[in-house]
Structure 1
């Protein structure tokens, strides 16, 4: 098959998901290509693209795609359509809200011109994060329902995501599957913390949706509970990074909180003894799976698909609130050995979240969608 993955921002979990899928699909003998935004990502992402380009028969095509809906979308859409048309895909797989619209809209246009292309969509949270009580939310959910008419298959990365779709948009009217994100075998090798590792580690996008502000706000309370200073490392980039740095300075933690640019997750894992995932919203975050597979203890918020990883009643999960985070972080640091016993084992994770399982299930959905196109 000729498979094209379309998404906006080449950062975070969506990019990781596409990289894993592309690798597995190339190994299976398919020709794969990527179409995404050219204005997001940095040196780290450029390095990842450089690694991928040689294996992708359909290449990496990058063009400006703005995050929010606006007049610039017309020019962006036209450029993206021309790129996709040139690639002649059998499978057009859209990821996230923008990628989902483009894949299904352009796949439908190609079918009008007698091309046989299957249109698949993975929300990855995306527009599902909006509040259904707001005008913006209603607009996006109405668009999702409309775009469903141009879809052959919906792929959800967590049961939470599928249930959210049903609650906010309605039961899917097209074929759909639940396929968890998957990890490769080497990711289950343990990572040992460096001798001078910080107490706490945050890895992720620097935006409020992912909770870096909650992580920072919890630090004074953690120190108060432990009766000592704590050190933290925050790895990532994003639009709110300057604000977080300013808040760390305001709290008097500038000497104890180190900000670092994006880097491979397993390299970052060695920089901290306890990883904290303080997100306000998630679908099925790779960082949680990766850290647990590497043997790291974790404090995480009970949002999105995270409870599906830990178990619904896991004592390691808290509400996305600075006070609750601080209490659990202090508990974990006070007795690391006991806290580590609360984590799911790598063997349990491997049985449910293997990359091979993920790729095989998605390929099955591709063939089914082609049969209906």
Structure 2
């Protein structure tokens, strides 16, 4: 049987990298052949399939930032790779992957599945930039690509704001494998045993400044400690976060932890009192899915992605009003002091994961999508 060949195009960092690896490591390698085109300097870790065989990859000057020269070079080189590999389908991940992949799809006639993992126009408060990014999304939505949304919120935004036709939108929720083992930390533990945690670089998206202010309010009522994971090289607001921590006298209450392994992240989440997210937008955040899998209740902002995972007063709390620091802090305090509520949310968190976000079950849905959408252009 001839395999369905899929070329994945992306800047492979953060949740986008996690998403692709989970797909590759779980999809049926006897039916699907995967090839990856990604950035020169995004990830140094090789990609493997379900049978632990290395997957062919090409590296191009694909970066997170807009670069007319590098982006043009990437499109030209990716086009040549596509002509050589002759795939049945292109799966473009993230905004940058979407621009490159859909440009090539237009040139070759190959169908493209586009997974934004949060639309680019959500990434800025600057109205001019937001309108430019939205215009680009609208422009590419008219080609031969389909939106393969990572959450229902992302799908609805694609319909209502970007303008995708109803018959050009599909859904495949981000999903993970069950977390069966918790490894010993590979890093030194420098924080107390009782803590809450989050994963997110200091950035406009993750809105860590609000999280620090929430912690300040909680501290007025009870002792609290926060571990912030994922403070890496693309943390554009790190200095402002550090300044705010100092101003609010929270230096003894917060650990800013650099990038570490997913096993370490799982270990830290599993031992936390709860998980918190003050994000302005998400695709479908893996750290919240991991919290559900580990039966850790969450207190989250009411944004795309978060609201798709946390059901208010069922497996956590969703803070309905934007920037409501007092409600946020009150919900954290209530969850920390009320064991009955915590136990209920914990059980429901685990149930939510098992029913909706276990990739061992959900990968079949993606396999069906790939099979249905494969292009016969090269057959």
Q: TM-score interval w.r.t. the shorter chain?
A: 0.7 to 0.9
When residues 170 and 358 of structure 1 are mapped into structure 2, their CA distance, relative to the original with a 3 A threshold, is same
Residues 291-306 of structure 1 aligned to structure 2 (within 5 Å):
291-306=291-306
Q: How many residues align?
A: 358
Query: Match for residue 32 of structure 1?
Result: 34
Please report the TM-score for the alignment, with normalisation by the length of structure 2: 0.83
RMSD: 3.1
1:334 aligned partner: 337
Contact 1:152-1:174 within 8 A present in 2 as well: no
Query: Which consecutive unaligned segments of at least 5 residues does structure 1 have?
Result: 112-116
Please point out which of 157, 161, 173 is paired with 1:168.
Answer: 161
Higher helix share: 1
Counterpart of 2:19 in structure 1 is 17
Q: Which residue of 2 aligns with 1:61?
A: 59
Matched, 1:206 2:210: no
The answer to whether the 8 A contact 1:128-1:165 is kept is no
Q: Secondary structure at the match of 2:195?
A: strand
- Give me the whole-angstrom Cα distance separating, in 1, the residues matched to 2:251 and 2:160: 43
Instruction: State the alpha-carbon separation in 1 of the partners of residues 290 and 27 from structure 2.
Output: 21
CA–CA distance in structure 1, aligned partners of residues 374 and 14 of structure 2: 29
Distance 2:107 2:60 in 1: 21
Q: Matches of residues 1-373 of structure 1 in structure 2 within 5 Å?
A: 1-8=4-11, 10-25=12-27, 27-40=29-42, 46=44, 49-50=45-46, 52=48, 55-59=53-57, 61-68=59-66, 70-111=68-109, 117-129=110-122, 134-172=127-165, 174-185=167-178, 187=179, 196-226=192-222, 229-236=223-230, 237=232, 238-263=235-260, 264=262, 265-270=265-270, 272-311=272-311, 314=314, 316-318=317-319, 319-321=321-323, 322-343=325-346, 344-371=348-375, 373=377
Q: Judging changes above 3 Å, is the alpha-carbon distance between structure 1 residues 81 and 245 closer, same or farther for their aligned structure 2 residues?
A: farther
Alignment CA distance shift 1:71-1:51 (3 Å): closer
- Using the TM superposition, name which of 285-294 and 320-329 deviates more: 320-329
1:261 and 1:254 mapped to 2: Cα distance? 16
Contact in 2 for aligned 1:274/1:297 (Cα 8 Å): yes
1:312 and 1:110, CA in 2 relative to 1: closer, same or farther beyond 3 A? same
**CA displacement 1:119-165 (0-9 Å, x = unmatched):** 21112212252689944333333322321233343211222111111
Normalised TM-score (structure 1): 0.84
Residue 365 to residue 128, structure 1, CA distance change in 2 (3 Å): farther
Q: 1:200 to 1:130 in 2, by over 3 A?
A: closer
